Amino acid sequence: LLIRLTSQLASITLKIFVKEHWSDGDDSFIAPKISDEDKAKIKVLVPKGLADKENRIRTAVVDIKLYIL
């Protein structure tokens, strides 16, 4: 249970972080901007969350993917 809750919190936190720091052209942007290196890592790791058993995590992953496209 604790691992599942931690994973849910991490996915929601990452979603908020990406929305606030991905692009300095967005209204929701808050400095600092995510580095290109970190963006590349996020783009590789986030899709792995689509295989998670927890629906809330998959939903957050889809939100992140849509935002970073």
d(CA 29, CA 21): 6
d(CA 65, CA 53): 18
Stretch 43-64: mean pLDDT, rounded?
A: 95
pTM for this entry: 0.88
d(CA 19, CA 38): 14
Confidence of residue 45 (pLDDT cuts 50, 70, 90): very high
d(CA 33, CA 51): 28
pLDDT for position 62: 97
pLDDT in tens, 2-44: 989 999 999 999 999 999 999 999 999 999 999 999 999 999 9
Name which of 59, 39, 42, 41 is nearest 50 in CA terms: 59
